[in-house]
Amino acid sequence: MRNLARNTQELSEEAIEAVQTVFSYISEKKQQTTVQTLLKLSRLPKTFENFDFSLLKSRDLDRIRVLPSLGAVYSHRNLAFIGPPGTGKTHLAQAFGYACCQHGMRAYFIKASELRDRFTVARRVGKTDSCLKSLVRPSCLIIDEIGHCEFDKENTRLFFDLIDRRYNKEGNFNMVFTSNKNPALWREDFNEDSTLLCALDRIFDEATVFKLRGESFRGKKLDTVSVQTGEAFLDTFVICTITGLVLGVTGVIAPGISGNVLPLYAFESVWPPMRYVLAASLLLFSTTSLMSQWYFGFVGLNYMFGRTVAEKFKYIFPCFCIFGATLKSDMVWTIQDIALGLLTIPNLIAMVFLWPKVRKATKEFFGTPRT
């Protein structure tokens, strides 16, 4: 022990500072890992940073701007965002949960219809208690689209059991709700007697309700969608049709001429400089096509397998491009046709398996009265 004390005293200031730096780095990495895990489990893609506050017009706008401080969680104050579709309710709710995760608190996002289905499954397999515990555990529980689906009597009781358990929860916690309906009308979607329905009032014992009014924010970039739709129409119908007409009218279709250069000969026969315009257009088209395929491949792999796999794709894709440039054009087109053909298989499988869910969601959407 004496030797240990002596060695500790003999440590230089540089050594002590180095040890402190290492421990600080380990602590910071642990915090970053915790936050990343919480965000992954929360299912929250929206943040306050990508919300356009300029679209909101209100004298109480400052009440929304202070939401990132998480005062509602620390004071056990529930939040409700009420308003018509497209006014930013879900975005603000998810952004609040995202901020909770960034501060090391667990948040979880679930739609009301998904919550109802989860209750139904839990009752069927006899695991209602574990289901409720998993929903009580997060510091911030976000329930989206209250009023879009109806809860039967048993699911209503489970819902109010969840409210009661979270009401008596210790530590920092709150609940966040979004709805198109005024809270006074929520009772219509829960099948129970008035005594139990009074539990709804517990949600608003300590709560702040934000009523968002005005036009929908959705469609503000409709011109972008229109351009993309028009681009696909232009590529696949107009340009292909014009190319076919030029080939037929000019009569350059003849044996011995490669299909890859037929358009060049055809347009050149009309006006010689057109060959250069067409060559430049093809170069631009091929370059942008490669960029778009790289991007969509990266996004798809990132969604399915995570960023680690997607990052590797960034370097593998250019290698395939270089390899393809060394092959004959007929081989490249054959590989392209096979790849596009294989893509139909997962799409057909997804259509078969997801059809019941799409049918159910469609019926639910059109069968729910709008307010």
For the chain, what percent of residues have pLDDT higher than 90? 9
| 96-108 residue pLDDT tens | 988 888 888 888 8
- The answer on pLDDT for 365 being more than 80 is no
For the ranges 148-152, 201-205, 206-210, 269-273, the lowest mean pLDDT is seen at 201-205
pLDDT digits (tens, 9 = 90+) for 154-189: 988 899 899 888 888 777 788 999 998 888 788 888
pLDDT of residue 132 exceeding 90, the answer is yes
- Phi/psi-derived region of residue 147, left when phi > 0, alpha when psi is between -120 and 50, beta in every other case: left
Q: Is the dihedral of CA 261, 266, 272, 275 positive or negative?
A: negative
Nearest to residue 135, comparing CAs of 124, 143, 123? 143
Check pLDDT > 50 for residue 228.
no
Which pLDDT score, from 0 to 100, does residue 125 have? Answer: 92
Structure-model confidence comparison of residues 315 and 141, the more confident one: 141
Model pLDDT, residue 34: 58
Contact by Cβ (8 Å): 92, 103: no
Of 285, 286, 253, the C-alpha closest to 269 is: 253
Average pLDDT, the chain: 76
Q: Which range, of 125-139, 219-233, 236-250, 303-317, averages the lowest pLDDT?
A: 219-233
For the chain, what percentages of helix, strand and coil (3-state, to nearest 5) are there? 65, 10, 25
**Residue 260: its pLDDT value, please?**
65
State the residue for tokens 């009772």: 187
